[in-house]
Amino acid sequence: MSARVEITLTVNGERVTRGVEPRRHLVDFLRLDLGLTGSHAGCEHGVCGACTVRVDGDIVRGCLVLAASLDGADVTTIEGLTDSGEAEDLQAAFVARNAAQCGFCTPGMVMAAADILRHHPEATRDEIREHLSGNYCRCTGYQAIVDAVEQTLVARRGDAR
């Protein structure tokens, strides 16, 4: 297809340079070019949230962002979030509460939930549900996920006081 675009960006704290087709979206770039298979392609039209990753501090749909537009960007995926330990308590709460079943939505769900921890530490149960309502889970019924996020928020608020 058309000529490749060279981009240099930071992914999980590591600088990477690649030539990408203009049509390559971010989740394909992560999975196919960088081998970061933790982010998943679920619908590839921005509804299901399985490809949720963080770009320059905000969560985005990896299927709606073209890799070619990310020269200079700072991208964090589930692999980077895990390595940093930033959401270790959240991930432990997901395990303890069985807030994942098949796990295909889980990396995106954890990325979206980690965004609540960063930006909305006082979120109520309804606000957690609202914030996660762009992430489709077919297995759990959502209640365990909401429980895990709420428990993490409560524990962090307790630690801060």
Contact set with other proteins (CB under 8 A): 1, 21, 23, 31, 36-45, 47-48, 50, 77-79, 82, 91, 94-107, 110, 128-130, 132-146
User: Cβ(52)–Cβ(78) under 8 Å?
Assistant: no
User: 41's torsion region: left (phi>0), alpha (psi -120 to 50) or beta?
Assistant: beta
Nearest distance, CB of residue 161 and other proteins, angstroms: 27
Nearest distance, CB of residue 157 and other proteins, angstroms: 21
Q: Smaller CB distance to other proteins: residue 88 or 160?
A: 88
Q: Smaller CB distance to other proteins: residue 126 or 160?
A: 126
Burial of 39 (0-12, 13-18, 19+ CB in 10 A): buried
Q: Smaller CB distance to other proteins: residue 106 or 161?
A: 106
Side-chain-side CA neighbours of 102 within 13 Å: the count stands at 9
Nearest distance, CB of residue 26 and other proteins, angstroms: 15
Nearest distance, CB of residue 15 and other proteins, angstroms: 21
| Integer Cα distance of 22 and 110 in angstroms | 29
| Integer Cα distance of 24 and 126 in angstroms | 36
3-state class (DSSP) for residue 150: helix
Q: Smaller CB distance to other proteins: residue 72 or 143?
A: 143
